[in-house]
Structure formats: structure tokens, C-alpha cells
Structure 1
Amino acid sequence: MKVLIFSARNFEKEYLKNSNNDKHKITFTLDALSSKTAIQAVGFDAVSIFSGDIACNNTLEKLKDFGVKYVALRSAGYDNVNIRAAAILGIKVANVPNYSPYAIAEYAAGLLLVLNRKLIEANNRVKHFNFSLDNLVGFDLNDKTIGVIGTGKIGSLMVKIMHGFGCHVIGYDITENSSLVDSYNLKYMPLETLCKTADIISIHVPLNTETHHLIDESLIEIMKPGVLIINTARGAVVETSHVIKGLKNKTIGGFAMDVYEKEHDIFFKDLSNTIPTDDMLITLNVMPNVLITGHQAFLTKEALTNIAETTIYNLDCWSEGLKTENELYK
């Protein structure tokens, strides 16, 4: 099978090559999939895309015309793919549902520690031989209340990690996990109650019509003053402009984000020699109580291995005329 790998980054190429082991004829391109770049897929049976690629109806129609029959996602989330349109067009789509929930949960915990204890500022000072401790005061996580929004595979691990820190863990999800209640004394409650109660909020829900801008002004207004918010889920789960307002009026004491609702055409690129034009990102980037990373929570050796292996597995199944259990339907 001839496969075009869109948005191919250097850090993942070797993992894909090793997993493929010359079974498929794969070609890498740094370009992201869009309606403009879809023409590169002429002559390919399948394309593989990442979270920053856009497989909208128009793009999928072009892929269909170019002879593409399969779309292999290298991510768990698939909000960037019009699954219904793909089904109508007869294009099969599969994702990587379980590459490493540990990578995301551990990273979320790391963001919390760095944000709370102001480690970036402390390190920057020491680089200039400034060993002052002024304005570096954080707080103990022990005995604090952390609200975990979304208790699936990643959220469940976050519950376990925070329980280990001695936190009181509360949760919100449309489906409750009784094992978390039994093992870690997790207390489920309505989202509004969680926001009123939590000292820290960590977000672990997928992006869909129900979760788009889930964290907005109405919820931020009822949060405890000084709350810390950690988002390693999807950028558009939070209304960024409302978060900025909450930071300015000090309702939100700190915000750590590995995802951004306008990250397309920004993240995964070196823009250091360009003039930034995104006002919200500029505002967040200059705030001392905001920590931003460029969608790297998944970036571990284990996760990259699992992503590559599952991506190739999905392609293997299709090439053999089989259905993969990772196929997505609408």
C-alpha cells in the first residue's frame, strides 16, 4: 500500500519506519493536510494525518477523487476529521485510541507542579545568578481539592496521581467510574459544584459539540478565587478569551495549557523569526502566571512507539482487506 504521511515530524519518522519494516511504501511530507495540500495525495492509497491536519468535507472529497481510500490518524482525537463525510464517500478512517494515557496524565501533573511552584521563573532567575525567593511562593498539594473533568483513561490516571499527592479528588463525567470511587475516594459531583469546590482543575475530556467551550465565563465566575487550571485535552474545551478575563480579574490564579483553540498553523512550527499576530496567545504568553507548551504532552518514547505501531497495524488490516477495531464511524 502506498501511504503519504502528512505533518511528518523528525521526532516520529524513525518510529514509523521501524514499525513499518518496509511493508508499505511510505512517503513523508512536512505539510499538513488541507484542501490545498490534498493534491499531494494523488497516486496514494492512504494518507496518515496528525491532530493539526484538517480533513473537512472538501478535503475528503478531493482525497476521494485522487484515489485515496483510507485515512490513518496518528492521534486519539478525531475532531479534525469529518467522519460522516468520510463514511458517505467510502473512505475508511481509524485512530490510535490508546497510545499512552500515562504520558498525558504525568505531563498534566508536571504542568501543575511547575505552575504552582513557579519553577520557570526560579530557573530564569538562577540563570542570571539571582537567588532571590521573592514572589516564588506556591502551596502544598497535600490536602488540596483537585477537580478532574473527564475520568476516562487519562483522567483516571490523573485521579490516581493526585490521590498519591494527598489531594481530595473530585470528578465530573457523564459516566462514573466506580473503581475510582472505591480505590481513590473520588467524589463525583455536578460540573458547577466541582468548579465552586476545587482549588485545582485538570481537564481531560475529548472535544465534541457538548464540550466545545465547556469552560466559559459562567463557570469561571463561580470558581474559587485563585484556582489553578490545567488543560492537556483540547484547546477549544476552554473559551480562551474568558480565561484571559479570569486571569486579569484574579479569579484564576494560574493557567497551564499544552493545547490552544487556535493552534492550527501555530503549533509544531518554529515561528521564532516571525511577528506574532494572535492577540490572545500574545496576551497569555506575557502573563507570569501562565504556562504554555506546544502540544507535547504525548511526546514520550512509549507513546511514539504505540502511535507508530497502531498506525501501521491499521494500514496492515486495510491492505489485507480486513476491518480494524480502531475504525471510526458516524
Structure 2
Amino acid sequence: MAKTIFYDATAIDRTQLTELMSDSDHELIFESASLNEKNIHEDAEVVSTFVSSKIDNSLFDKMPRLRLIATRSTGFDHLDLMYLNGLGIKVVNVPTYGNNTVAEHTFALLLSLTKKLPLVTSMVERQGLAVNPRYTGMDLKDKTIGIIGFGHIGKCVAKIAYGFGMKILANNRRVDQEFIDNYNVEFLPTEEIFQKADIISLHCPLDKDNYHLINDQTIATFKQGAILINTARGELVENHALLKALRSGHLAGVGLDVLEGEKYLSMEKTRALLLEDDFKIEATKRAAEIYVLQKMPNVIITPHNAFNTVEAVRRINQTTASNIKDFWYGNIYNEVKPTPSFISGKLILLRHGESQWNKLNKWTGRTDIHITEEGWNKSLEIGKKLESLDIKKVYTSTLSRTKETYKAIKESAHLENIPMVSAPALDERDYGAYTGMNRDVVKASIGEKAFKKLRRSWDGKIEGGETLKMVYERVIPYYLRIILPQLIAGENVLIVGHGNVLRALIKYLKSYSNEQILDLNVESNIAFIYNVDKDGKVLKESNISV
């Protein structure tokens, strides 16, 4: 007998799982909420969760008897497999349960867009049966659908598309002759599908190679007026790129059952975000993107609901019950094993070499000051040590001292033909009225405590200048939008920056509190090297100095 807790359990789950587990001697407990501090059962031996649960690893530390997690989903990216493996906890999933279910939902989204059903139904409520040419739809017959991910679900999508008389393109490393013979599927590289398809439908898993598969660059290769459907994983698509393409008309419509930051579909979670003391600029942007997408007339969003039919839920619960019973009686099926953790390219942060005003102990801020001979020579030295890092791209501010530092590094590290971008978002903090003032004089005038707050605090105000918080709010979105995708793609990126810009970056990278940042000072001549996760947070770190 094992104590088994089903979290995220609906009334249907309770009814079905009670019946399906009736031939076992397990003690069953059903919790409607996700696993959290308030509903944890510390003596649980089996836990079953749903894919929407985002569970803190620390909760599993409090469950010493836990042996099995049975997720009621195919996806398992809500669980930290490496961490659970270290605790000796097995994880099983439901490999297949609703291939036709998700494929049908794909066409529900597609038909709703092509027939403009949301607009038409709202028009009927306002205008009765009046015909409006604005709501003229289009046929699917003879249109080209591009299926990205040709597994079980993708194949079901192809069968339905064939019934509509559509031309079918699919990407697959291994050509499937059955689908060529029976459904006239043409197998092409993904890039060519993007160029030829009227409709792009995503059905691939999320991995390090296809994070933000749909972005500004890939959408630019789509046909004008293409339609995008995503029932796979939200992070395959960059929201910001969608908004721009929809606004320009390059995309005619989008149907989403999943989207990046989908938890902010919940008004409660969005409200909680806005009320937090520690303002999270990127999360707030994500919530704003979702809000705008929801309001667009050519966007249809369903709340991760493609799986949700009576038949599919029963298949999920049947497999989950079998997984639990089989495990307990000595057999383990559908086990999900951890793979080595994702490792990004290296992010290398380096403060510019000593400037002429650094030497005089003056606040420089946005004043464009050159580096000293000492700054140049030290930059040459650090460059020699960076030569082996295979840097693929370099970012500096628009100010001379960062560009001159990189010029010295480029010379000694032999970085030929490396793209360099000088970004205003990476410019130093504006010190306002204090620009050009000697720091020792200011410290003697206002006292050490006030001086430290002025120089290092999170939101200490400066007359006519910026707080560190204001620097953070321009630097971090640039990092996440522009630099992080390159790191995720495995490229090594060097940022030659300013002290406060690098402090803002490190605050995000290492999740420093507003109080911790007060004690962080970034010196010149030290290269801080990080590998990051897909959120851009630190996984590994090291440094090189001269």
C-alpha cells in the first residue's frame, strides 16, 4: 500500500482515477491545487502532477518517502529531472494520449481564424444577419500547410489536412514513405517550409536548438499573410516577434494553445506580479505582450486546452494509473530519464579599462572620456587571456572607453572578423549633477553612508540622473531580447561595459536582492564568465583577471 497524492485534480480526474485505481491497495488523496507548501503531504510515496504545475525543488526535499512522480502529461519540462534523479525519485509520463485530440484542436484554431469566427459571431450579436465584407474568410482547399514536427500529432494533422484537400509539407529527418504514398506529403527542410507554406503548424518538442524557433528572422521568411498555429510549446515562439508581424500584416493570424509566459493569462498572477515590491521588468513585459495578443482580432488563444476532451483525459488517467500500479509491483514503464543539463555559450562580462577620469577619481557617467595608457595596456593583457574562448560576437556601449578597450582586446586576442555592436542600451548610468565631480570630495561632503547609497544603491535618486533600477530597466530587456538567444544557440558573447551596466546584469544573472546589490562593485581587468539557463540566469561561473 502506498500513499498516493494526485495534485491539480479535477472532478473528472477524481472519478476516473478512483475507478482506475480500485484494484490496487493504494491510499488515494486528491488535491485540486498544484503541489505547494500548504498542501504538501510529507509522507507521500507517489505524487501525480499536471504539466501546468511549476514546483519548487525544495518541496521534494520535504518528502523523504517519495519514490515516484507520475506526471499526467507527455511533457515533463515542469520537473527538474536531474534534481529528482539525485534524490532517487523516478519520473514517468504519458507518452501518447491524444494525437487526434490535439490535431483536431489545431484545426479548430485554424478554421476559427480562416473563417473569422470570433469576429463573425460578435457581429451577429451587434448587427444580426447583415453581411460585412470585412469578415470574408478563406478556404483551406489548395492551401499549403507546413507541419513542423512530424511525430504522432503531426501525422494526425497531415491526415486531416489531406481531407481538406490541402498541399502538405513536413520536416522530418527521416522521410516517411507511407505519408508520401497515401497523403502526398512532401518532406522539406524547415527553412524551405517557412518560405512556401500558407499555414505553419508547430508540433515539435522544445529543446536547446529550437528555443524561439519563430522569431523576427524566421517570420521574415514566411509568406506575406501566413497563419501560424502553435499547440506544442510556448517557448518555440517569441511573443514580441508575433506582435510586430501581426501589426505589420506579415502574419494574417495566429492561433495559440500555448504561449511564452502563459501563466500571465491568469489575472490573479498578473495582479500579483504588478504588486510585487521587486519590480520584474521582463515578467511585466511578458504579461503586457499576452494582454495585447488577447485583444487582437486576428489572434485566438486557448488556455493549454488542446488535450482537454473526455476521451483524452480518460486515456491520460488510464496510463497514469497503469504507470503507478506497474511501478509499485516491480515494473517501470514510460520512465523519463534525465539528460545532461543544458549549457549555453559563454557570456563574458568585462568592464572597460581605466579611463582618464577614473584615474582622477571623477564620476564619468555619459561623458565620453578616453582610456589611459594603463587602461590600454591592461586591456591588451586581458585580451591575451580571452583568445582561447572562441568569441563569436561583441557588444559595447556607444562611449569611447568601451570601444577602445575592445580595440585593444581585439588586437591581442586576434579577434578578426568578429561582429561588434555598440548599443545605447549599454551606456553607463547618467550621474546627472554629480558628473565630473571628485568622489572623495563628495564623500567628505555628504558622509560615508549617504555616499554609498548614492553610488551603489538600487533606487537612490540623483538629481538629473539615473538610478541603478533605471539602468536595469533598459539593460535587461536588451540582454534578454538580443544577447540571450545567441547564448542559447551556443555562441560565446563578450560585453565590454561600464560598472553600473555590469552590476545591473549581474543582479539579474545571479538574482541579487536590492540589498545585496549595494555591496557589489565591478572592477576593471577582470573578465566574469558565465554559462546561463534558458531564462538567462547563471548555471556556472568563473573569472579571468590580470
Q: Determine helix, strand or coil for the equivalent of 2:74.
A: coil
**What pairs up with 1:261-272 in 2 under 5 angstroms?**
261-264=260-263, 266=265
- 2:312 and 2:255 map into 1 onto residues whose CA distance is 22
**Structure 2 residue runs without a partner (length 5+):** 275-283, 339-546
Deviation, 1:238, is 0.8
- 2:75 and 2:174 map into 1 onto residues whose CA distance is 19
Deviation, 1:56, is 5.8
Structure 1 ranges of 4+ moved more than 6 A: 269-277
Deviation, 1:227, is 0.4
Partner of 1:42: 42
Partner of 2:188: 189
- 1:249 and 1:209 map into 2 onto residues whose CA distance is 29
Contact 1:151 1:177 (C-alpha < 8 Å) held by counterparts: no
Deviation, 1:71, is 0.4
Superposed CA offset, 1:53-88 (max 9, x none)? 12465454x25x432111001000111122222222
- 2:127 and 2:110 map into 1 onto residues whose CA distance is 25
Partner of 2:469: none
The residue type paired with residue 291 of structure 1 is: I
- 1:265 and 1:195 map into 2 onto residues whose CA distance is 29
Q: TM-score, normalised by structure 1?
A: 0.91
1:105 corresponds to 2:103? yes
Q: TM-score, normalised by structure 2?
A: 0.56
Partner of 1:304: 313
Partner of 2:166: 167
Partner of 1:80: 78
The residue type paired with residue 72 of structure 1 is: A
**What pairs up with 1:222-233 in 2 under 5 angstroms?**
222-233=221-232
Out of 307, 322, 331, which is 1:322 matched to? 331
Deviation, 1:11, is 3.9
Partner of 1:6: 7
- 1:218 and 1:187 map into 2 onto residues whose CA distance is 24
Superposed CA offset, 1:248-278 (max 9, x none)? 11111000001122123646x9889999961
Partner of 2:94: 96
Q: Determine helix, strand or coil for the equivalent of 1:71.
A: strand
Q: Determine helix, strand or coil for the equivalent of 1:40.
A: coil
Contact 2:264 2:270 (C-alpha < 8 Å) held by counterparts: no
The residue type paired with residue 33 of structure 1 is: L
The residue type paired with residue 29 of structure 1 is: E
- 1:244 and 1:66 map into 2 onto residues whose CA distance is 46
- 2:165 and 2:65 map into 1 onto residues whose CA distance is 55
Deviation, 1:131, is 2.2
Q: Determine helix, strand or coil for the equivalent of 1:140.
A: coil
- 2:270 and 2:80 map into 1 onto residues whose CA distance is 32
Change (3 A) 1:294 1:141: same
Contact 1:41 1:66 (C-alpha < 8 Å) held by counterparts: no
- 2:200 and 2:128 map into 1 onto residues whose CA distance is 32
Deviation larger for 65-74 or 12-21: 12-21
Partner of 2:202: 203
Contact 1:7 1:49 (C-alpha < 8 Å) held by counterparts: yes
Superposed CA offset, 1:182-226 (max 9, x none)? 211111111111111000011101122222211111110110011
Contact 2:264 2:290 (C-alpha < 8 Å) held by counterparts: no
Partner of 1:126: 124
Contact 1:145 1:169 (C-alpha < 8 Å) held by counterparts: yes
**Structure 1 residue runs without a partner (length 5+):** none
Contact 1:76 1:97 (C-alpha < 8 Å) held by counterparts: yes
Deviation, 1:113, is 0.4
Deviation, 1:102, is 0.7
Partner of 2:157: 158
Q: Let me know the Cα RMSD of the aligned residues.
A: 2.3
Contact 2:53 2:78 (C-alpha < 8 Å) held by counterparts: yes
The residue type paired with residue 125 of structure 1 is: M
Change (3 A) 1:281 1:31: same
- 1:80 and 1:271 map into 2 onto residues whose CA distance is 18
Contact 2:97 2:312 (C-alpha < 8 Å) held by counterparts: yes
Of all paired residues, the percent bearing the same amino acid is 33
Superposed CA offset, 1:75-123 (max 9, x none)? 0011112222222221100000111101000110111001110111111
- 1:214 and 1:174 map into 2 onto residues whose CA distance is 17
Q: Determine helix, strand or coil for the equivalent of 1:124.
A: helix
- 1:272 and 1:58 map into 2 onto residues whose CA distance is 24
- Tell me the matched-pair count: 324
Q: Determine helix, strand or coil for the equivalent of 1:126.
A: helix
- 2:47 and 2:231 map into 1 onto residues whose CA distance is 26
- 2:254 and 2:109 map into 1 onto residues whose CA distance is 9
- 1:28 and 1:102 map into 2 onto residues whose CA distance is 29
Deviation, 1:153, is 0.2
Change (3 A) 1:327 1:285: same
Task: Between the two structures, name the one with larger relative contact order (CA 8 Å, sep ≥ 6).
Answer: 1
Partner of 1:31: 33
- 1:307 and 1:258 map into 2 onto residues whose CA distance is 19
- 2:310 and 2:141 map into 1 onto residues whose CA distance is 30
- 2:166 and 2:246 map into 1 onto residues whose CA distance is 24
